[in-house]
Structure 1
Amino acid sequence: MKITLDSQLGLVLTAIQAEDQSVLYQLMDEVYRSGYRYIWEDQGDWYVNLIYNRHTLHKELKRSTSHYFFVELDEKKIGILKYDFPFSPREIEIPNAMKLHRLYLHPEVHGKGIAKILMDHCENVAMENGLESIWLEAMECQMQARKFYEKMGFREILTYTLDFERIFPEYRNIQIMKKSLL
């Protein structure tokens, strides 16, 4: 399945399939590490191997609530978008909501308005499905991402500490941010 978001830009979402695992892994090995390498003792090896392995991908694709895409610009894979609905965090109840689970873009395309187009797409999908809000988790140490989400109307509602031992302790805080759609 392909979803055209901006035909002028050549911005398309392509549904990720199980057979795409090696391509997904290779892309995220580069994209995830480019922004998060510094928070991990192992530069993100454990996390990339856990989240983008064949087993995890198959498990995520089986969930009817999960929507997982490559973000493509002029037929080149530049990142991923994953959202789940209905979905509420364990830490705090957010009923009738979408979780913006993963939005990662290659640094080469940062600042070009692509993330905003992706956020608008998520909002449209959420509203079409009668959802009341969108929530996400953002690392407290990722100021650029948090400022972007705030600009998009998200507000911090809870901060907690991740128990990932391979993350340096000073980088373990994560914020749940929420945007109401009503």
Structure 2
Amino acid sequence: MERVYKNAYEDFWIDGGDWYLELCYNPENVKKELSRERSHYFFVEHESRTVGILKYDFPFSPREIEIPNAMKLHRLYLDASVHGKGVAKELMAYVEQVAKANGLDNIWLEAMVEKPQAKRFYENMGFTKVFTYQLDFERLHPEVRGIQIMSKKT
């Protein structure tokens, strides 16, 4: 994540993203996330190399707006070397298949407002914007704190 996350979001953070990476990926937090029954965490491999992570949680609805009987696509980070190669589309198809197999009606995610390529990708995958709010992380530059919750019916 040091490579993958920072490559995409380093300029959003006062400290280059170090605080956020430590918050999310310190060993104690990762163990806690892995121990939750609703959490599903994967390393993404492509051509024999680890190129990112995928994490989804269900059942899970956002605090900000009710999305019933839903899965959260919590993390999908991929190395820039695999962008445009269909890896993300394949992962999205897998996530949708898991949601359907578990009888879930919706998939939702959070996308940074200031990452238009990510939002376009999710829109192309059938997601629509349902709610926008501001993150309150002090180390995140104020102009990039916007988050859009997007959802899709399965």
TM-score class, shorter = over 0.9
Distance 1:98 1:78 in 2: 23
Give the aligned partner of residue 76 of structure 2.
103
1:146 Cα offset (Å): 0.2
Q: TM-score, normalised by structure 1?
A: 0.84
Runs of 4+ in structure 1 off by over 6 angstroms are none
Distance 1:144 1:78 in 2: 18
Among 25, 50, 54, the alignment partner of 2:23 is 50
1:95 Cα offset (Å): 1.1
Give the aligned partner of residue 159 of structure 1.
132
Amino acid at match of 2:91: L
Q: Secondary structure at the match of 2:94?
A: helix
1:75 Cα offset (Å): 2.3
Q: TM-score, normalised by structure 2?
A: 0.99
Distance 2:64 2:138 in 1: 19
1:74 Cα offset (Å): 2.4
The aligned runs of 1:36-47 (5 Å cut-off) are 36-47=9-20
Q: Secondary structure at the match of 2:37?
A: coil
Give the aligned partner of residue 62 of structure 1.
35
Superimposed CA distance per residue, residues 77-122 of structure 1 (whole angstroms, 9 cap, x where no aligned partner) = 0000000000001111111100000000000110001100000000
The aligned runs of 1:20-169 (5 Å cut-off) are 28-169=1-142
Among 148, 172, 179, the alignment partner of 2:145 is 172
Amino acid at match of 2:128: R
Amino acid at match of 2:146: N
Q: Secondary structure at the match of 1:141?
A: coil
Structure with higher RCO (Cα < 8 A, 6+ apart):
2
Distance 1:74 1:112 in 2: 11
C-alpha RMSD of matched pairs (Å): 0.5
- What percent identity do the matched residue pairs reach? 62
